[in-house]
Amino acid sequence: MKASPDVTVVGAGPVGLLLACELALQGVRTTVLERLTERPDTIKAQMISGRTYQMLAMRGLGPAIDAASEQESAGLSWRPTGSTGHFAGLFKLDGLPLVMLSQQALERVLESRAAELGVEIRRGVEVVDLDLGADFVVGCDGGRSTVRALGGFEFTGTDPTLTGYQAVVDLDGDLPFGWHRTPAGVHAFGPLKGRVMLIEYDGPPATRDVTRESLETALRRVSGRDVRITHVHTATTWTDNTRQAYTYRRGDVLLAGDAAHVHSPFGGQGLNLGLQDALNLGWKLATGDSALIDTYTSERHPVADRVLRNTMAQVALTRPDPQSRKLHALVSDLLDLPEAKARISAMIQGTDIRYETGCSHPLAGKFVPGLDLSDGKGTSIVVGGEEALVRPDGYISHIGE
């Protein structure tokens, strides 16, 4: 193996772009292959978690994200300042506030950083074979990953049971802002102007095509309101298809982001999970050290497994049948207990992640916010009078002797 491997990243979504930045920061020659010639304008994530923000700020991306977020916030119908997110539609979490930022805006920030760092991004190139001439290939090619299929990764889980819609529309009629559960499902409106989210719990979508008529019919059915959609700017469907690759590495082929795990968007966790995969993998891959690279799976697989479980639980809790509604009410009461609130908040925000580093100190394996690791190197800090070594991803590897 050379001092630094060559890496091909497949997919210029948020995870592929961040991974490419991470690799370039470590001096790795990185090429990103993306089948689309342009970034799609389909609405997906609209926020990043406070922890993801801290991690990107550690790399010096704070000002660019703040500027993009500020610009987008100007177009909001209402401003969810200080929102810490929700669990199954229960806005009772506390902890780090979410940062308003559309996935497209984040991708623009990451792509411009990747260009600054000298990453080669080749658009209009669809990968159909893994013989790419690199030391490592990383599939960041989304939930229907070709790399995952070509690499022979097992991808097991549960089939979809619901149809979700997310769209930006022009609307006539009275639709209340925020999240609402009804006997027919869930509807949400805002905070982005015209953004509608719907869930119907009667099986997966028959088709991925969303028309103005089908969206309006579903909205009227779920909300029970006399509303009319006059124009659809963008629309997509989603489901609770829940699957995870058994391992994230098979030889020289690795997976990150949605290619490694898919689940419903309840609690807004998917993008954060993938970005944190990239931050975990980049510096390890750059070393070419096989044993260290294997810790990518051992550290990140359990984190995603927990997200898969909590998103499935949220699907069950938000179903409209009478028994599920009672269960939802009971969980709502439990979330008023400080200990339950703290536990669920930390789980959804990923702030309780602690990696097994082989050091028994209770802070070993925890993330340290507020560090400047923009050079991609680890550092040493003093914690409680003891020297702590911090990895390039901001997690403490070791404290004391």
Ligand X SMILES: Cc1cc2nc3c(=O)[nH]c(=O)nc-3n(C[C@H](O)[C@H](O)[C@H](O)COP(=O)(O)OP(=O)(O)OC[C@H]3O[C@@H](n4cnc5c(N)ncnc54)[C@H](O)[C@@H]3O)c2cc1C
In the complex, which residues of this chain contact ligand X (CB under 6 A)? 10-16, 33-36, 44-47, 103, 126-127, 140-142, 146, 166, 236, 238, 257-258, 265, 268-272, 274
Give me the residue whose beta carbon is nearest to ligand X.
13
Q: Is 118 exposed, middle or buried (0-12, 13-18, 19+ CB in 10 A)?
A: exposed
CA atoms within 13 A on the CB side of 348: 31
Q: Are 274 and 304 in contact (CB under 8 A)?
A: no
**Cβ distance to ligand X smaller for residue 227 or 259:** 259
**Considering the complex, what minimum distance in angstroms separates the CB of residue 176 from ligand X?**
20
Q: How far is the CB of 377 from ligand X (least distance, A)?
A: 25
Nearest approach in angstroms of CB 20 to ligand X is 11
Task: Choose between 238 and 367: whose C-beta lies nearer to ligand X.
Answer: 238
**CB nearer to ligand X: pick between 191 and 365:** 191
- Three-state secondary structure call for residue 164: strand
Decide: 331 and 319 in contact? Cβ < 8 Å.
no
Closest to ligand X by CB, 100 vs 364, is: 100
Q: Which is nearer to ligand X, 127 or 390 (CB)?
A: 127
Q: In the complex with ligand X, which residue's Cβ is closer, 165 or 395?
A: 165
Give the nearest distance from C-beta 238 to ligand X in angstroms. 4
The dihedral sign for the CA sequence 358, 361, 362, 364? negative
> In angstroms, what is the C-alpha Rg of the chain?
21
Q: Is 36 or 115 the residue whose CB approaches ligand X more closely?
A: 36
Q: CA 180 → CA 238, 328, 370, distances in Å?
A: 18, 13, 37
Distance from C-alpha of 217 to C-alpha of 222, rounded to nearest angstrom: 9
Token reading at 89 = 């539609």
Count of CB atoms situated within 10 Å of the CB of 92: 17
Query: Do 160 and 239 touch, CB atoms closer than 8 A?
Result: yes
Least distance in Å: CB of 58 to ligand X?
Answer: 19
Cα atoms in the 13 Å half-sphere on the side-chain side of 1:
15
Q: How far is the CB of 349 from ligand X (least distance, A)?
A: 11
Amino acid 208 reads R
State which residue, 275 or 396, has the beta carbon closest to ligand X. 275
Tell me the closest approach of the beta carbon of residue 255 to ligand X, in angstroms: 9
Rounded to whole angstroms, what are the CA distances from 104 to 101, 131, 275?
8, 30, 14
Rounded to a whole number of angstroms, the minimum distance from the CB of residue 259 to ligand X is 6
